[in-house]
């Protein structure tokens, strides 16, 4: 069984999350991915999962490994004479070149689009950054906290109306952006193979964040208004809201009104069929107008029973709902396990579970190809394949170019 990207060689000159996560997905699809790291390795190797608030002594850096499974690692010091030349040779011999170097560093090392495409007329060159390769912020660094969450507009829409903007989860924007990078590269490969010309694709954290809330931008572009935050106590619709159950678990109800007879069935579940009767909340206008009042009435009803009770009742009446699950709930979710979104692979500390490729390509050899490489473990093998051997290889090693 073959993989979709068998025979495709990817060179990654990037660090931290988004671009490496994208090339990890390319490795899942069968590509050979060569990760260029500085001496000592990608800075993300030093990230501590405990910094996210966990009270647990982790055996390794599972977050780094998740984004780097199945790669070959080559350590090169781009700041040393000859370092950039090594990477240029790799760039001239690949199908895909992915980088998150800011534009001035790309040009400094001779690794910009013009230089790489001139040396490799079949390359798909992917520029990834926080804000893009043009404009006043082309050289501004942008982690997902800044470029994806804050500057895209997402953070301004979150939390209760009077609350400060919340601290969001790091890496979420990076992994959403990784899917954009993968899509752009696959499109570039299609055009390259069809037309025989190199392709330059570009993805940014800010642009991905804007696409994530595209509905809000559709409204803002027409109205030039920023939408107000929606309070849980006064939602747009009372049954498009979350409610706390007796056991402290939360349940999300997804507006059943557009579905025939769903609102009366929901009222029956709550034991208040009168709410759907004439003179009460019997049409959409009344539901919307009475949103805060009705939410206040639903709250104590939901709190009388555990989540399991409401789950059974909502399923019986075919109402759309979901538990507000924790990560530990999700990893034991039978649906997640049946779909195979979690898999086991080799890691630096032994066998362990991790997230599998977030999509399925049935009939192809796809999936996690662990473990992640140690820094520079493939340097000499990869350079030998390029014809860099003997005295030249020894000189590079002696001069500290290879870490």
pLDDT digits (tens, 9 = 90+) for 50-60: 777 787 878 88
Per the structure block, which two tokens stand in for 127?
């520029």
Q: How confident is the model at residue 323 (pLDDT cuts 50, 70, 90)?
A: very high
Whether the predicted pLDDT of 258 surpasses 80: no
For CA atoms 15, 16, 20, 22, give the dihedral sign.
negative
Distance in angstroms (rounded) separating the CA atoms of residues 287 and 290: 5
**How confident is the model at residue 260, as a pLDDT?**
61
Mean pLDDT computed over 189-204: 97
Per the structure block, which two tokens stand in for 316?
């019986």
Bond into 371 cis (ω within 30) = yes
Complete edge-to-edge strand list for the sheet that includes strand 250-253: 241-244, 250-253, 321-323
Whether the predicted pLDDT of 8 surpasses 60: yes
Residue pair 273/279 in contact by the 8 Å Cβ criterion: no
| Range name among 10-14, 112-116, 175-179, 262-266 with the lowest pLDDT average | 262-266
Residue-wise DSSP of 348-385: TTEEEEEE--SS--TTS--S----PPPTTTTHHHHHHH
C-alpha to C-alpha distances, 395 to 141, 380, 384, 390, nearest whole angstrom: 34, 13, 14, 9
Whether the predicted pLDDT of 373 surpasses 90: yes
**How confident is the model at residue 259, as a pLDDT?**
62
Whether the predicted pLDDT of 309 surpasses 80: yes
Bridge partners of 298, per DSSP, are: none
C-alpha to C-alpha distances, 109 to 79, 80, 93, 175, 186, nearest whole angstrom: 8, 10, 17, 27, 26
Whether the predicted pLDDT of 350 surpasses 70: yes
Angle among Cα 103, 46, 346 to the nearest 5 degrees reads 105
Mean pLDDT computed over 327-342: 96
Distance in angstroms (rounded) separating the CA atoms of residues 23 and 26: 5
Whether the predicted pLDDT of 264 surpasses 90: no
User: What burial class does residue 346 get, using C-beta atoms within 10 Å of its C-beta: 0-12 exposed, 13-18 middle, 19+ buried?
Assistant: middle
**pLDDT tens digits for range 78-93:** 999 999 999 999 999 9
**How confident is the model at residue 257, as a pLDDT?**
56
The pairing of beta strand 71-75 with beta strand 32-37: parallel
Whether the predicted pLDDT of 334 surpasses 90: yes
Give the count of beta carbons closer than 10 Å to the beta carbon of residue 383. Answer: 21
Whether the predicted pLDDT of 135 surpasses 80: yes
3-state secondary structure (DSSP) of residue 36: strand
Whole-prediction pTM value?
A: 0.93
Residue pair 324/251 in contact by the 8 Å Cβ criterion: yes
**How confident is the model at residue 59, as a pLDDT?**
81
- Average pLDDT over the chain, rounded to whole? 93
Mean pLDDT computed over 64-76: 96
Strand (E) or helix (H) holding 75: strand 71-75
Q: Please, what are the domains in the chain?
A: 9-214+340-398 (3.40.50.10540), 241-326 (3.30.1540.10)
Mean pLDDT computed over 100-119: 95
């Amino acid at each position: 069984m073959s993989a979709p990207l068998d025979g495709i060689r990817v060179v990654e000159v990037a660090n931290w999350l988004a671009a490496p996560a994208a090339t990890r997905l390319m490795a899942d699809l069968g590509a050979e991915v060569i990760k260029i790291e500085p001496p000592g390795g990608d800075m993300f190797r030093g990230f501590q999962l405990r910094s996210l608030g966990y009270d647990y002594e982790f055996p390794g850096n599972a977050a780094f490994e998740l984004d780097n499974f199945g790669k070959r690692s080559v350590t090169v010091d781009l700041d040393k004479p000859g370092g950039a030349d090594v990477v240029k040779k790799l760039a001239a011999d690949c199908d895909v070149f992915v980088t998150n170097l800011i534009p001035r560093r790309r040009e400094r090392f001779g690794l910009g689009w013009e230089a790489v495409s001139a040396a490799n007329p079949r390359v798909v060159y992917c520029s990834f950054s926080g804000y893009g390769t043009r404009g006043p912020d082309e050289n501004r660094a942008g982690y997902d906290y800044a470029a994806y969450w804050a500057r895209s507009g997402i953070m301004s829409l979150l939390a209760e109306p009077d609350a400060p903007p919340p601290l969001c989860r790091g890496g979420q924007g990076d992994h959403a952006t990784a899917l954009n990078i993968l899509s752009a590269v696959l499109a570039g490969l299609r055009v390259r193979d069809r037309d025989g010309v190199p392709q330059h694709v570009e993805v940014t954290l800010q642009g991905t964040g804007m696409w994530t809330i595209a509905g809000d931008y559709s409204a803002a572009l027409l109205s030039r208004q920023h939408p107000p935050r929606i309070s849980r106590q006064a939602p747009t619709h009372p049954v498009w809201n979350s409610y706390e159950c007796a056991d402290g678990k939360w349940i999300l109800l997804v507006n059943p009104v557009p579905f025939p007879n769903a609102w009366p069935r929901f009222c029956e579940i709550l034991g208040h069929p009168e709410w759907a009767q004439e003179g009460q909340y019997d049409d959409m206008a009344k539901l919307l107008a009475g949103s805060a009042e009705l939410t206040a009435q639903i709250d104590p009803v939901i709190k009388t029973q555990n989540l399991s009770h409401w789950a059974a009742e909502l399923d019986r009446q075919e109402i759309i709902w979901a538990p507000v699950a924790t990560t530990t709930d999700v990893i034991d979710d039978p649906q997640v396990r049946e779909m195979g979104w979690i898999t086991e692979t080799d890691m630096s500390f032994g066998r362990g579970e991790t997230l599998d490729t977030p999509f399925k390509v049935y009939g192809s050899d796809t999936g996690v190809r662990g473990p992640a490489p140690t820094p520079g473990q493939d340097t000499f093998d990869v350079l030998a394949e390029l014809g860099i051997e003997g005295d030249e290889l020894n000189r590079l090693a002696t001069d500290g170019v290879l870490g």
